[in-house]
Structure formats: structure tokens, C-alpha cells
Structure 1
Amino acid sequence: MIERARERGCRVEMITFTLPHDLSLPAGESMRRLKDALRRFSADGSMRRVLNELAFIGKVTSTEVTYGHVSGWHIHAHAIVVFEQQDDRETDAKEDFARSVELKKALYPGWKRAAHAVGAGTPHFKYGFDVRAVWSANDYIAKLPEAATAKSEAGKGRWGAEAELSKAYMKEGRKTSRTPWEILDGADCSQEDARLFREYAAATWGRSQIEWSKGERDLRKVFLDDLPEKVDEQLVYEEPEWVFDDEDEEMPDLGDENLVMERIQIGSSDAWRARVYAFGSIDRACALWESGDSLSLADALAGEGWHVEKVSEGGYRRELFEVEPSIFKERTVVEPAEFVATWPRRAGGVA
């Protein structure tokens, strides 16, 4: 489906939805919250307007479950979202990821509202809501040629977005987490694993792992209507794809600043005046930003009474970095927007 959408020139994004969770949250309640939040997000009028402005076609959503001994049940969803082609211009990897960041910033407030409505905490802006450009195999070769060549020479296949949705059963958990099937492997000799798998089975019983948009937005009708449907026996005997965990290392590095691309300069005299006349304003602005209640620290400071002036636009650039002696790789890094924040002086020049 992704290959056909990209052949038609459509823009494809993968959105990952995650809610805050811990060891005290049962699998059933975690699943209920996620499904309810996804319904609320889809019904949110402002989110619909954002998607429709981008010529939204439809989406397909998959639910994935892992269990961590530190954070408990991690039940999250991946959605492949397809938009109509809006221009004929080819984009490179840097532009694709920049567009993904902008879409993330536009949609995150809706996911936060949905999370609060179902009784969950505020999703982390970086880890609780991810938007990533999706490419076909041909896109991958064209946009990341060095990574594609290296993977091919190593005899590796790609773990693409389509596999992320439909082949979660083939994945292995990370160091601190396990998939339900890894838990099942240990159920014969561990009462705790047996209990955990029963809890997982009860939480997922009667629920679909993959859900498609309804009616005319059903992507199967849009892109796959002319293809014969495969029966279960054919799917069972298909050659499996294998999972490799190095895909993230090849993606452009968007930095560790929560993707809020700002650098704000505050002079010591301005900080002193704000401390005297608006004690805690910087802390309050930072708290709003860290919680996701403001996606811009500059806006949060302005809301506290600061005068904030943008001195340069943000963007992206490519750079080489040394991974081993004399071996270099290229990555995309964030160029933050630059701001200067000053505390307004009062009449008489005091503050």
C-alpha cells in the first residue's frame, strides 16, 4: 500500500501514539485509555482541520504491546497517514523530516487533550507522540543512498513502516522490555509470566490489531482494490522478513531538544530585573514548555511578560561526524531559531 501511495506521489507519515504508563497500570486499563484517546483524537475538530488542510486521504492504525519490568505495560499505536500530492516537486530527506516536525507540532495539542480526557497524564512531546516521514523502498535508496548501499552489502533488509504495523509478532523486546510472545515463552516455568500473559490476553481479547479508515477513506479501496486478496495459507508460507534494529541510526538526527527548535539569550541584567519584578517567570515558562502546555519556550516567556525578539530562523543542515577513526557518516542536525529575551523597563528606567 505504501509503495502504491508513493508511486502516486502521495505524502505518507507514520504517527506513533503513546500515553504515560507505569507498573501500577493494568493492561486492560492501559488498552482502554489508548483506544478511547485515539477515538477522541480522530474526532477532534481542530485535528480534522489540520489533516484536511493537508489533503488527508485516510489512515491505517495498528496496536502494539510490550511489557517492561520498570515501566509496566507499554501499549501504543502506529498509524500510517496518507495525504494527496500537493506539488510535483521532489523533496530530499532533510525536507521530509522538517515537514514531519511541523506536523508533529500541529497535531500534538490534540493528542494531549485526548490523553487528559481519558484520565492519563500529559504525553511527553518527544516520546509520547512521534511523527516520521514514510518512504517506499525506492525512496529509501534515493534519499539515503549510503545507508541503503551499506544495508544491501551487509545482506540486510529494511524494517519499514509496513512491517511496523503488520509484523509486530516478529520483533524482539529491548533490554528492559519483552513482547507478549517472549512472555509466553517463559510461562511454562514462571508463574509471573503466565499471569502476565493471561492479563495480556484478557486486555486484547476481541480487539482488532489493525484498523482502517472507514468508507471512501479506506486505503485498501484507494490503493489496493485491483489486487487479489491473499488467503491465510498463502501468507503463512511467505518468506519472512527479518528485523534489524539499526534503522533509527540511519534516520536524520533531529537532536535531543524535544524538537522545539529554539535558542533564547537572556542577559544577566534582564534576569535580575525579572527576578525582582516577576519572580519565577522563567521557571513558569520552562515548566509550561516541559509539560507540553506550550510548544514554544519563546511564546511561554512572552506570556509571562518578557519581550522576545527572533533574530534568526531555524532550520536544518547536513554535517559529517566520525564514527570510527577515518570513518565518517552524514547526518541532519537542527539549526535552532535564535531569540533574544529582555525584561521591559518601566517608566523612569527602573525596570
Structure 2
Amino acid sequence: MRCGTVWTCPECSMRISVERTALLGKVVTRHVEDGARVMTLTLTLRHFAEHELALSVKASRTAFSRVTDGRAGMRDYVELGLRGWSRSPDLTWGVENGWHLHQHVTLVFEPGTTDEQMTELAEGWFTRWSRGAVAAGMPAPDREHGLDFEILPDGDTEAAQAWAAYQAKGIAAEQLMAGHKKAKGTSRTIGELIHDATIGRTYENPETGAQVQMVDLQAQELLREFEKAIKGVPQMTWSRGKHDLRNILSEEEKTERSDEEIVDDDSLDGEEVAVIPRESWPQLQPRVPEFLSIIEREGTDAARAWLDANGIGWEMPTRLTDTRRRGVRPGSEI
């Protein structure tokens, strides 16, 4: 059984994000092959430490509705060549300014749309985004920090797919992989908050040499706030109706599975490499990205040899029992 939580479970979020990434990448590629143009865009809320995350989440939803709804939203399709869009939220927390929430958006335009039209749309989106944020009780974003966009070269499927992967990962997967994505300066990603709230940090008593593990109480409070505020927020949303970018796919291809269906799909499990006992995890945890890279590049045997070479205890995986077979000698066959 898996929890199916896209925002705070490393395993489930990775499974869900992989499928969402593949879908967005396929959709964008088809549009580029059809001659469409692509623009990447990020909209950011202005915020301060006293702003609660729930307010930022609500303001972001309200502001984006102002961007895409109404006459101005329809004009984007009719006069500025917009085909459709897909968006995903991204989030960090910082000591000075609190929760930092922004929206990553992929926009697809009809062939022949000019750079000037695409730029006009981006500037119009920021104006409406700013007004929506103020209407929802947040400060007006400034242009320098509230809007960032890039028009991708015509026919550049590689750049479009790279952005699709970045957008789809968002906070749900990339930030949950410990050590993979780090926030800047005094900020912390959701993954870092989870680590500090649950695993904590290990300190050595200089007098006794004993290892003392301490968790971060502030991180625990922030994580509780995050879990409550983000509940029900979708990882990815699309423009609707005839402007749904997924319409370019066949009926079979665009059938999108729910989060629960994705995480319950045992075909995604892959090969089990090793069971890492609790006592070995502190040694491996800081080097997880390196370990995963070895698995991907060199395979299972090389990964197990790497564990042995670095003195990290492990056990052979088995589906014959629900226990971790602690009596099995590390590295031995079952």
C-alpha cells in the first residue's frame, strides 16, 4: 500500500512526477513538431515573513484565475496566438521573507506568432497577476521579481522537453529528493524541511564521543503548515476545452491516470537493489544522489560493490517476507 501523496511523500511524488513529466514532454513535443512556438514563464507572489502559506496559496489561485479568465484571457487566444498552457506550483521557505510561492507555466502558440505578440502576452499576464494578488490580500508584485519569461527557439524540442521536465517536477519530486535540489542562502526547500523535521541533524558530544540526533522544531511547525495549506492543490493544471494542449494526442495517449492509479501501478517498481538498514542510513543519506547515479550508469552489481567499498551495510532485498531479514549478512545471497 502507498499513500499517494504528491507533495510530501518522496516515493509517491517521484512516481507521479515521472508520469506527469512524460505526458507534458510528449504534449509539448507534438505541438513543436506541428510548428507551434513555446514560451516558458514564471509568475511570483510578493511576500513577507508574516504571510501565512494558506493566504499565499489562495492568492496564487485567485491571481492566476485573473490571468486566464474573462475578456483579456479570451483575447490571448484570438489576437495573440495562444494555443494553451500548463502550469505547476513551486515553493520554498526563507528566514527573511517566509513562504516563496511561484507558478511555472508552459505556453504554446500558433505557428507564425511573433516575439512581440508573445512578449505582449507575458506583460499582460503579469499585470493581471499583480491585480489578482492584491485583490486576494497580498502586496503587489514588482516587475523585476514577479515575472520571468523566455521565448524558446523555433523547433527546439530539446529545450521544450527540458522545461517540461523542470515544470512537472516542481516541489513534488525534485525538492523531495534529499540533497538533489538545494534552496539558496537561508531558504529551505520542502525536502530540506522534511529532512530537518524528521531525520534532523547528528552532533557528536566532544567529551563522550556519543552521537546525538536532534530534530528541528521550527521545521516541524512549517511542515505542518505546508501539509495543511497544500492539501487538494493539483500538481499540474491545463487550459481547458478546445484550448487543452492534450487535445493534440490520441484518445488513448491523453488518458491521464489519477495520482492513486499511478502509485498503485506495480509495473513502475523496477529492480530492487538493496535494503538499507536503519543504522546504515546516516552513512548513505548524504550520498544518495551519487548512489542513484551509479545505479543508473553501471547497474545493480556496481551499486552493491560501491556500498561495500564505502563500508555501508546493506542486505539483499526479498519479497518472501515483510521483514528486513536483519540476520542476513550484508551482501550475502538469500
Per the normalisation by structure 1, the TM-score is: 0.54
What secondary structure does 2:41 align onto? Answer: strand
1:3: which partner in 2? 29
2:163 corresponds, among 161, 164, 168, to 161
Pick from 99, 105, 111 the counterpart of residue 129 of structure 2: 111
Letter in 2 for 1:200: F
Question: d(CA) in 2 for partners of 1:209 and 1:137?
Answer: 27
Aligned partners of 2:33 and 2:155 also within 8 Å: no
Counterpart AA for 2:148: D
Contact 1:3–1:136 under 8 Å retained in 2: no
8 Å contact from structure 2 (residues 38, 106) kept in 1: yes
Relative to total residues, which structure has the larger helix share, 1 or 2? 2
Q: Is the 8 A contact 1:44 1:110 kept in 2?
A: no
| Deviation readout 1:201-222 (Å, 9 max, x if unpaired) | 0001112121112222221222
Q: Classify the secondary structure of the residue corresponding to 1:170.
A: coil
Equivalent residue for 2:149?
131
Going from structure 1 to structure 2, the CA distance change for 1:106 and 1:204 (only over 3 Å counts) comes to closer
> What amino acid is the match of 1:213?
S
Contact 1:59 1:218 in 2 (8 A): yes
Match of 1:190? 216
The 8 Å contact of residues 13 and 80 in structure 1, kept in 2 or not, is answered as: yes
TM-score, normalised relative to structure 2: 0.57
Q: Which residue of 42, 57, 70 maps to 2:96? A: 70
1:208 aligns with 2:226: no
The alpha-carbon deviation at position 225 of structure 1 amounts to: 4.1
1:177 is aligned to 187
Give the count of matched residue pairs. Answer: 215
For 1:182 and 1:159, the matched residues in 2 are separated by 27
TM-fit CA distance, 1:135: 5.6
Query: Structure 2 vs 1, CA of residues 212 and 159 (structure 1 numbering), >3 Å: closer, same or farther?
Result: closer
Per-residue deviation, 1:51: 3.9
State the match for 1:121 in structure 2.
139
Q: Percent identity?
A: 28
- Offset of 1:100 from its aligned partner? 5.0
1:136, CA displacement in angstroms?
A: 8.6
Matches within 5 A, 1:302-321: none
Q: Which has more strand, going by share of residues?
A: 1
- Amino acid in the other structure paired with 1:121: P
1:253-292 matched pairs, under 5 angstroms: none
How far, CA to CA, are the matches of 2:139 and 2:89 in structure 1? 20
**1:126 alignment partner, SS class:** helix
Q: Is the 8 A contact 1:50 1:107 kept in 2?
A: no
| Partners of 2:63 and 2:197 in 1: CA distance | 31
Amino acid at match of 1:160: A
Native 8 Å contact 1:21 1:73 kept in 2: yes
Q: Is the 8 A contact 1:33 1:119 kept in 2?
A: yes
8 Å Cα contact 2:80-2:118 kept in structure 1: no
**Partner SS, residue 127 of structure 1:** helix
Q: Gaps spanning 5+ residues in structure 1: where?
A: 88-94, 142-157, 243-351
Residue of structure 2 in register with 1:27 after alignment: 53
Deviation at 1:47, TM superposition (A): 4.0
Between the two structures, name the one with larger relative contact order (CA 8 Å, sep ≥ 6): 2
Cross-structure match for 1:315: none
Q: Distance in 2 between matches of 1:46 and 1:185?
A: 43
Amino acid at match of 1:165: Q
For 1:62, give the aligned amino acid. Answer: S
Whole-angstrom distance in 2 between the partners of 1:193 and 1:159: 34
The CA distance in 1 between the partners of 2:166 and 2:101, in whole Å, is 14
